[in-house]
């Protein structure tokens, strides 16, 4: 590690009021044992999560601005090396933010970034911390479902602020919106490979508050026709609704719970990675059997990277699976949106009203997703 990177890490950690020891798993465990970081859990309605038929009023966080402090948390997988943490801090600072590390951002419990109480506690504490303007996940992985019922939703509703991430964070961005009405963000995580395209859309949606147009940009290079980032229309049409969704596998795991999104009249966006087609088929069956698909106004399919047939005989193709589940809905559907486990990605506000055009392959935000 270079001396400049060491200084970045020391500076960011110092902002938490602690030294590098606050980033060690042992220090995090000791703090948890002392009772200083135990989260206060308070669901919204009479001590219980809100019912599936309830719809909280929409809340918008204040837009992030240069100079704001962004809290960095690890609600999913642990980060095993120091370098990704340094790169994440550098990236957020390059966006103009100050960085404050959660006390357990470098903790580890099995594959997770700390115990359930530690990971939920860091999120709850940052929502309570008035010096923190927004919260961003360091990385995805797994484990967010373990803490989805441990967030202080009453606190979040009282102190709404930016919350973002993707992949396994699908659980939390949808649960927070479902339980509080706060618009959250299916966005790059802090350790993402930030690039001009991703930064442009993140700034437009989260910092400028623009009614962004999510339109694929494909560079064909020296090829006769573009072969990357193409749009394919499954069923043409135009529809409006609230954006909900994210990673298909994670979303399906929430079905039947109080944290699953309200799909009535919604625009559902989906993506996934490293899953056999038969498993994606199973997840879509779960959504169909839960009654979620029949309520939709439209569907936006993002990237399904490295999702192949596996070793099964005579497997369906992804085209066939999507046709089977979405064509009978008689709603607009298109495939190929720049959403998912890809280098260049949109920032999609969960809970924001939008209009999709399946023929043009676009999603247009109808208003600002932040205040």
How many whole angstroms from its chain centre is CA 300? 16
- For residue 17, the tally of other CB atoms under 10 A from its CB is 9
- The answer to whether 256 touches 47, Cβ cutoff 8 Å, is no
Q: What CA–CA distance (Å, rounded) separates 267 from 288?
A: 15
How many whole angstroms from its chain centre is CA 10? 28
Q: Residues 167, 191, 192, 253: which is the catalytic one? A: 167
Coil vs helix vs strand at 334: strand
Coil vs helix vs strand at 109: strand
Q: Residues 104, 186, 201, 341: which is the catalytic one? A: 341
How many whole angstroms from its chain centre is CA 46? 28
Q: What is the DSSP letter of 324?
A: H
Q: What CA–CA distance (Å, rounded) separates 229 from 283?
A: 24
Q: Is 271 a catalytic residue?
A: yes
Tokens 């099964």 appear where?
A: 312
Q: What is the DSSP letter of 206?
A: I
CA terminus-to-terminus distance, the chain: 39
Q: What CA–CA distance (Å, rounded) separates 187 from 164?
A: 6
Q: Is 191 a catalytic residue?
A: no
Of 235, 231, 192, nearest in space to 214 by CA: 231
Q: Is 253 a catalytic residue?
A: no
- The answer to whether 268 touches 301, Cβ cutoff 8 Å, is no
- The answer to whether 42 touches 155, Cβ cutoff 8 Å, is yes
Coil vs helix vs strand at 55: coil
- The answer to whether 361 touches 339, Cβ cutoff 8 Å, is no
| Strand 348-350 with 184-186, pairing | antiparallel
| Partners of 225 in beta bridges | none
- The answer to whether 104 touches 122, Cβ cutoff 8 Å, is yes
For the chain, how are helix, strand and coil distributed in percent, rounded to 5? 30, 20, 50
Q: Residues 90, 271, 275, 355: which is the catalytic one? A: 271
Active site amino acids: 167, 271, 341
């Amino acid at each position: 590690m270079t001396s400049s990177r060491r200084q970045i890490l020391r500076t960011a950690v110092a902002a938490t009021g602690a030294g590098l020891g606050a980033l060690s798993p042992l220090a995090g465990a000791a703090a948890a044992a002392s009772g200083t970081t135990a989260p206060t859990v308070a669901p919204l309605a009479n001590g219980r999560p809100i019912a599936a038929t309830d719809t909280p009023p929409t809340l918008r966080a204040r837009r992030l601005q240069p100079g704001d402090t962004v809290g960095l948390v690890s609600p999913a997988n642990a980060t095993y090396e120091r370098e990704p943490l340094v790169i994440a801090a550098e990236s957020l600072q390059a966006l103009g933010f100050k960085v404050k590390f959660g006390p357990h951002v470098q903790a580890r419990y099995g594959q997770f970034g700390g115990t359930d109480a530690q990971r939920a506690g860091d999120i709850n504490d940052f929502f309570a911390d008035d010096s923190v303007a927004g919260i961003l996940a360091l990385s995805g992985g797994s484990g967010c479902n373990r803490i989805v019922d441990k967030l202080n939703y009453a606190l979040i509703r009282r102190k709404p602020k930016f919350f973002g991430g993707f992949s396994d964070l699908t659980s939390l961005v949808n649960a927070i919106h479902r339980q509080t009405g706060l618009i959250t963000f299916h966005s790059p995580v802090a350790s993402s490979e930030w690039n001009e395209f991703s930064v442009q859309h993140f700034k437009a949606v989260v910092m400028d508050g623009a009614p962004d147009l999510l339109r694929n940009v494909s560079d064909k290079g020296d090829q006769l026709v573009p072969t990357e980032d193409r749009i394919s229309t499954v069923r043409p049409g135009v529809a409006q609704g609230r954006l909900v969704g994210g990673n298909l596998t994670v979303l399906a795991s929430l079905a039947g719970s109080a944290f699953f999104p309200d799909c009535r009249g919604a625009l559902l966006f989906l993506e996934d990675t490293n899953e056999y087609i038969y498993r994606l088929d199973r997840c879509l069956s779960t959504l169909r059997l839960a009654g979620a698909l029949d309520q939709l106004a439209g569907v936006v399919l993002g990237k399904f990277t490295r999702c192949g047939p596996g070793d099964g005989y005579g497997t369906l193709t992804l085209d066939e699976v999507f046709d089977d589940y979405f064509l009978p809905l008689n709603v607009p559907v298109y495939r190929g949106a720049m959403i998912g486990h890809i280098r260049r990605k949109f920032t999609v506000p969960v809970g924001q009203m939008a209009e999709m055009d399946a023929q043009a392959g676009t999603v247009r935000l109808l208003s600002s997703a932040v205040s």
